[in-house]
Amino acid sequence: MVIGSDTSVVLDGQILGKPTDRADAVATLRRLSGRRHEVVTGVAVVVAGADGSVTTTSGHEQSSVDVDELTDHTIEWYVSTGEGDDKAGSYGLQGAGGLFADRVTGSVSNVIGLPMGRLHKLCRIAGVDLLDFGSTS
């Protein structure tokens, strides 16, 4: 089984990718400050059967995040940690960046980067039960 996923942060219809540098991270966090944005993650599951068959399923999950008003000091401190360097939208909900999220509507695991509920459904469609820990195959 192969699982692939990628997450995008969307603000005002524009995709905010991973920051190109620390100045870009500061600019992105300033744009997100005090605003709501969308987080969309696409997920694909490919399962190769013992008989040579291949099953592919895919889908996406969307959540909304309301970000608190962030001071320049807070943004500069956060960017200096490097935590958001490799994250869409320049922040990570699972770390100190989680302090900035006033509200998440939808899947929290989606915002972190892998929507577990969606993954579970896609795996079931592909014939894999993620809850079957006793499987030896």
Active site residues: 6
Q: What is the DSSP letter of 91?
A: -
User: Helix axis angle, 72-81 relative to 22-32, nearest 10°?
Assistant: 140
Beta bridge partners of 105: 64
Q: Give the side-chain half-sphere CA count within 13 A for 83.
A: 17
Are residues 78 and 30 in contact, defined by beta-carbon separation less than 8 angstroms? no
Cβ atoms within 10 Å, residue 32: 24
Length of the chain in terms of residues written: 137
